[in-house]
């Protein structure tokens, strides 16, 4: 899996506010805490830099790709502590007026940006009193992404992406799956743990899921339960609520042993559907579609 014989990963949980500077201060302190405990890879949650009073606040805080205080913070913090740092998500300028890209940015231990992934699946929910429609303010990405790192091959994703297993399968075998998130309290209670453990089990991969966890100034409640799950689906660390750090040592030997014992990835018989092909009708296989 990795050139590193074992490493510590930190999933940072936050209860971000609508004030970017305040959030960066809290994030900086939590990254420092993780680094002091020996973390080599530190992941911040989705919207770590801003959880607005309304959905348009993140648009107002949007930055040009490669320039802005949020991106400078991530680069400087990674270099200062000598860690690989995952900026859960940063609002970056898009081609659509009034919208941003929800972008997961990864920086190496020298503070150089190693990757950018733009969230593909946009959350929509209507439970009557609780409604969300990310498509109103976010322009979706279109390219799944996995990156090579000293810790193995890492799949990048964000929050609602977790519900779409084909995203991860389209990337081929990966060693670790990152899922920075801000799950709502309602959907989190129902599905968060189940989805994380399923993605770990079916891909025989470690899953690292830093999350927002608490009540935000807007009144919105997020589920928390930042979590690290091993390739067998066992929860190795979890923080229920409030700001803090989930620290877990990742053992590459465990993954190699499990994949040798249960080579499920080699037993696959059905390829991932071509993203450009028309959707399948219920009960019909791809070969029967004209």
pLDDT digits (tens, 9 = 90+) for 35-56: 999 999 999 999 999 999 999 9
Region 104-111: mean pLDDT is 98
Res. 130 pLDDT band, cuts 50 70 90:
confident
Query: Catalytic amino acids?
Result: 46, 119, 159
Q: How many distinct structural domains can be found in the chain?
A: 1
Q: Flag whether pLDDT at 237 surpasses 80.
A: yes
Region 183-207: mean pLDDT is 97
Within 10 A of 147 (CB to CB), how many other CB atoms are there?
A: 16
pLDDT at 129: 78
Domain enclosing residue 191, as ranges: 7-288
In angstroms, the CA 152 to CA 67 distance is 28
pLDDT at 197: 98
Q: Classify residue 47: in a domain, yes or no.
A: yes
Q: Classify residue 241: in a domain, yes or no.
A: yes
Q: Classify residue 45: in a domain, yes or no.
A: yes
Q: Classify residue 72: in a domain, yes or no.
A: yes
Q: Please, are residues 196 and 163 in contact by the beta-carbon 8 Å criterion? A: no
Q: Classify residue 1: in a domain, yes or no.
A: no
Q: What is the pTM of this model?
A: 0.92
Q: Flag whether pLDDT at 131 surpasses 80.
A: yes
Percent of the chain topping pLDDT 90: 88
Output Rg (C-alpha) for the chain, integer angstroms: 18
pLDDT at 245: 98
pLDDT at 242: 98
If phi > 0 it is left, if psi is from -120 to 50 it is alpha, else beta; for residue 164 that is beta
pLDDT at 109: 98
Please tell me whether residue 13 adopts helix, strand or coil conformation: strand
Q: Flag whether pLDDT at 275 surpasses 70.
A: no
Q: What is the dihedral of CA 114, 171, 11, 151, to 10 degrees?
A: -60
Q: Classify residue 253: in a domain, yes or no.
A: yes
Identify which of 146, 56, 157, 44 has the alpha carbon closest to the alpha carbon of residue 100: 56
| CATH, residue 96 | 3.60.110.10
Higher-pLDDT residue of 132 and 2 is 132
């Amino acid at each position: 899996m990795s050139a590193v014989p074992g490493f510590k990963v930190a999933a940072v949980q936050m209860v971000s506010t609508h004030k970017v500077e305040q959030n960066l201060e809290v994030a900086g302190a939590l990254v420092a805490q993780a680094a002091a405990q020996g973390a080599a890879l530190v992941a911040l949650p989705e919207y770590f830099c801003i959880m607005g009073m309304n959905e348009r606040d993140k648009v107002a805080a949007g930055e040009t790709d490669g320039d802005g205080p949020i991106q400078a913070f991530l680069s400087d913090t990674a270099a200062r502590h000598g860690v690989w740092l995952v900026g859960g998500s940063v609002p970056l300028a898009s081609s659509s007026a009034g919208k941003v890209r929800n972008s997961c940015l990864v920086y190496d231990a020298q503070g150089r940006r190693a990757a950018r992934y733009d969230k593909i699946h946009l959350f929509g929910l209507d439970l009557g009193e609780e409604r969300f429609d990310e498509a109103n303010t976010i322009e979706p990405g279109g390219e799944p992404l996995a990156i090579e790192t000293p810790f193995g091959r890492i799949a990048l994703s964000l929050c609602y992406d977790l519900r779409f297993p084909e995203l991860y399968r389209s990337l081929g075998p990966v060693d670790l799956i990152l899922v920075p998130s801000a799950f709502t309290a309602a959907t989190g209670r129902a599905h968060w743990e189940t989805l994380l453990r399923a993605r770990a089990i079916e891909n025989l991969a470690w899953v690292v899921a830093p999350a927002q966890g608490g009540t935000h100034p807007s009144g919105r409640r997020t589920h928390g339960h930042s979590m690290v799950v091993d390739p067998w689906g066992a929860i190795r660390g979890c923080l229920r609520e409030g700001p803090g750090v989930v620290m877990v040592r990742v053992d590459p030997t465990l993954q190699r042993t499990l994949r040798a014992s249960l080579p499920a990835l080699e037993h696959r018989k059905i390829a991932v559907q071509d993203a450009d092909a028309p959707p399948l009708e219920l009960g019909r296989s791809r070969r029967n579609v004209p």
